[in-house]
Amino acid sequence: MRKNNNTFHICVKETDLSVCGRIALGARSKAVPPGVRAWWQQACIAALIGMLLLSLPGASRAFAAVSGNACPTLDLAFGQPDVPSLPHLCFLQDETQALGPDDVLAGRLPMDRRDASELVFRHNQSAYWVYVPLRNLERAQRVWYLQLDYPLLDEVDAWVYDLDTGPGAAPVLLDMERMGDSRPFDARPVRHRLFLLPLEFGPLQSLAVVLRVRSSGAINVPLSLHSGGSAIGWAQDQGLSQGMFLGALVLLALFNAALYLRLRIRQPLYNAAYIVCAGLFLASMSGLSFQYLWPGWPWLANRSVPLTETLAILSLLWFTRHFLGIDPDRWPRQSRLIRLLARAGVALFAASLFVPYALIIKIDTVYALACMVAMFGLGLRHLRRGERAARWYVLSWLVFFAGYLAYGLAAFGYIPGFMAQERWMQIALGSQMFLLTYAEVMQLHDLMDRALGIEATARSSLQHEVRARTEDLRAAMGALERANRQLRDLTLHDPLTGLLNRRGLDEALDQFAKSGEPAARGVLVIFDLDHFKRVNDVHGHDAGDAALRWVAEVLVNLLRRRSDVLARFGGEEFVALLAATSLEDARILAGSVLDHVRRHPVDLGDGVTIPLTLSAGAAEWRPGDTPQSLFRRADENLYRAKASGRDRLVADGAAG
């Protein structure tokens, strides 16, 4: 009896009926009793039934893949609408990151079931495996696209298996893709900001997709399924909406940049910087920047989110400071708060380059929230003071907070529906930027109205004061360049005579040497008051200053053309640079100056006059001359005029 039992167990374990037949024949040849022979026959029948069960497609798949009862297959048919969220997906958490796709296919590990919209996990070190069985019900080839609607994932690995491999055979691997923003963008099977996996079904074919997802941040696995035609239409619609949104941001940024260039005030410049940085932040969050700006830089794709977020907050801080007029003298505490937050932002920007993403994104988010609350509080405080522009500023923050809260919760895995929250964030952010720009325009409009009101009130009685106030308002709106130009003029002119000083003359000589043809460049004349020290000693320095001013006036009246340059070179020396003038014409002009000074003494008042004479030296520009050589020859001619008795002109080659 014991021997018969062993024979029965051998037949049950074997998978080939011929073995059972040989065992039965062997037992029969040994004249086994009839009861035992019947037992052998029952064993062979049981083995036959087991073989038939294993030959069924469902049974073979149960050994080769996850049980169909645990993970229901999604049937696909022509004309069937897209599946925006795959239902009842099987998934498991791989805390050790040691599992492979075969472990998922074997079905030996317990798996949970959840709709794709609920596959939301906060940050941890685990990898997540998702099993997606699909079946084509059509007798024709079909192409479907499995889409993962969350672009901020470091690693997305996909294995596609054919489940129709015959009785008892394991699924066949058809395709494997490695995606994620820690890998080059060109590694994706479809160039799209989201993760798209094309699935090519044969007639009545069943496929299984095994996904492995891992990321240093929060993990969302919102899987959807699209047919080939609808996937193209969906991508076009998404591209159109994203393009319209980013195009609107570009227009707002250009408008603010134009305001800055027109008015020369920094407030629109900071607003334009905020719009650009916030747009780059959203583009990084949505995967657009990785697709179009730096597809070959996975490191930058990972770091662009905290970097652009910090830059956007810094730009908004400085915009707030200028928009609300937070001057350090008037609002010292508010000014210190903004400076403190700005310094923290600069430190975080630098830290974003090397601190692990999982840590820096949390710190940046807390910093951004703190800055937003601070800026909102500053707006409320200025609103209580009755500032009209602060109303629009506060309203822009209220609109923004609604979208930012939902977007942040979805991005960190606290609520599902990242794509829907992304659209809300775009609406909220776009509305905030529009309201900030509108508030900025209203503020400028109020400033202009105030300026016009002041001008209208004072025009009838004090026109000069109106102009001064208007200039003050314009200066407050960006007249720094004009002030610099005035300061430059002061450094180039002699305060006593109003003529150019020595520095101004040097610049004029350099320009004179670089302009025009050498033969037509002109003549340099140096005038010197004869015996000027005697005037100071006899009549005093006030009389000497009057004499210098009078000589300067004579030079301006007799020599000054638009192209000529007049300068007071030293104490009693004057220089005239006569452009495009021949030496003969220069001698006539300089002689008229000497004659006028000789015949018209300086009138000091009270019947006191001072007779004056001038000595002059003239030099004509020659080929090969430099400003220094030209000045040196004119000075030598002046020395010859003084040595010859003064009150005369000596030019190149002659004396007058």
User: Model confidence over 520-561: pLDDT tens digits?
Assistant: 578 999 999 999 888 888 888 888 888 899 998 999 998 877
pLDDT at residue 361 tops 70: yes
Long-range contacts of 156-159 (CB under 8 A, 24+ apart): 156/180, 156/195, 156/211, 156/212, 156/213, 157/211, 157/212, 157/213, 158/197, 158/209, 158/210, 158/211, 158/212, 159/101, 159/209, 159/210
Q: In what order do the strands lie in the sheet with 654-655?
A: 565-568, 573-579, 522-529, 614-620, 649-651, 654-655
pLDDT at residue 281 tops 80: yes
Q: Whole-angstrom Cα distance, residue 524 to residue 516?
A: 15
pLDDT at residue 423 tops 70: yes
Domain ranges in the chain are: 2-55, 63-234, 264-449, 493-655
pLDDT confidence band for 68 (50 / 70 / 90): very low
- Using DSSP, state whether 173 is helix, strand or coil: strand
Q: Would you say the pTM of this structure is higher than 0.85?
A: no
Residue type for position 531:
H
pLDDT at residue 50 tops 80: no
pLDDT, tens only, 438-486: 888 888 887 777 777 777 776 666 666 667 777 776 776 765 566 566 6
pLDDT at residue 262 tops 80: yes
Q: In CATH, which of 3.40.50.170, 2.60.40.2380, 3.40.50.150, 2.20.130.10 is domain 63-234?
A: 2.60.40.2380
| 258: number of Cβ within 10 Å | 12
Q: Establish whether 95 is a catalytic residue.
A: no
pLDDT, tens only, 6-46: 332 333 333 333 333 333 333 333 344 444 344 334 444 44
Cross-strand partners of 89: 114
Cross-strand partners of 227: 144
pLDDT at 288: 87
Mean pLDDT calculated for residue range 152-170: 88
Its CATH architecture, for the domain 493-655, is 2-Layer Sandwich (3.30)
pLDDT confidence band for 390 (50 / 70 / 90): confident
pLDDT at 623: 85
pLDDT at 624: 84
pLDDT at 63: 34
Question: Which CA distances in Å does 217 have to 123, 194, 200, 280, 292?
Answer: 5, 17, 32, 19, 22
Q: How much of the chain, in percent, has pLDDT values that exceed 90? A: 34
User: Which one of 572, 573, 584, 620 is the catalytic residue?
Assistant: 572
- Chain-wide mean pLDDT for the chain? 81
Mean pLDDT calculated for residue range 392-410: 76
Q: Whole-angstrom Cα distance, residue 106 to residue 210?
A: 12
pLDDT at 37: 44
pLDDT at 562: 78
Residue 91: phi and psi, rounded to 5, are -150, 160
